[in-house]
C-alpha cells in the first residue's frame, strides 16, 4: 500500500475547490486524480479534517483472543501440527478457522510450526563419506 498524499497538498486541493474552482481544475492544477479531489472534499465535509486514515490491518484477528491458549498448547506439545491445532480450536473453543490462519498467528507469536519428517531428520543427521 502506498503512502498517503501530504497534508499540505490535501489542504491546497480543498482550498482551491472552496475558492470556487471545479474539481476537474483542481485535479489538473495539482496533478492528482478527480477521485482524489472528490475524496478530499468529502472527507473535509464529513470529518472537518484532512488527515489520512490509518492504513493496513490493525493486527486483531479471529485468533488473537486465543493466542495465550494456543501458545500453551504448543508449549505442552512441541511437535503439534497446524491441523491438530485447528481440530483443538474447533473442539475446545468452538471456533472454525483454516490452518493458514493458525500458521499466521504462530508466525506473529514467533513460534515455529514447520515440522520435519522422520526420514528428513535422519538424512540430515547422517554424514556421507565421499566415494573413493
Per DSSP, the residues of 58-79 read -S--TTGGGHHHHHHHHHH-TT
For residue 118, what pLDDT is reported? 60
**Count of CB atoms situated within 10 Å of the CB of 37:** 25
Number of domains in the chain: 2
Higher pLDDT, 122 or 72: 72
Do 41 and 70 belong together in one domain?
Answer: no
Contacts of 128 (CB under 8 A, 6+ apart): none
**Count of CB atoms situated within 10 Å of the CB of 126:** 6
Do 75 and 109 belong together in one domain?
Answer: yes
For 105, the domain range is 64-113
What average pLDDT score do residues 55-64 get? 81
- What average pLDDT does the chain have? 87
Tens of pLDDT, residue by residue over 9-44, are: 999 999 999 999 999 999 999 999 999 999 999 999
Confidence of residue 56 (pLDDT cuts 50, 70, 90): confident
Give the residue from 66, 17, 69 showing the smallest Cα distance to 38: 17
The answer to whether residue 31 sits within a structural domain is yes
Amino acid at each position: 500500500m502506498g503512502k498517503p498524499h501530504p497534508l499540505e497538498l490535501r489542504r491546497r486541493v480543498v482550498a482551491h475547490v472552496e475558492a470556487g474552482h471545479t474539481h476537474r481544475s483542481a485535479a489538473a492544477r495539482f496533478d492528482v486524480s478527480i477521485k482524489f479531489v472528490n475524496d478530499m472534499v468529502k472527507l473535509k465535509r464529513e470529518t472537518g479534517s484532512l488527515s489520512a486514515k490509518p492504513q493496513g490491518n490493525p493486527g486483531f484477528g479471529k485468533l488473537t483472543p486465543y493466542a495465550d491458549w494456543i501458545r500453551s498448547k504448543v508449549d505442552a506439545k512441541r511437535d503439534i501440527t497446524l491441523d491438530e491445532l485447528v481440530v483443538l480450536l474447533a473442539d475446545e473453543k468452538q471456533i472454525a478457522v483454516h490452518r493458514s490462519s493458525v500458521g499466521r498467528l504462530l508466525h506473529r507469536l514467533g513460534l515455529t510450526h514447520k515440522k520435519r519428517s522422520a526420514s528428513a531428520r535422519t538424512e540430515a543427521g547422517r554424514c556421507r563419506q565421499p566415494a573413493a
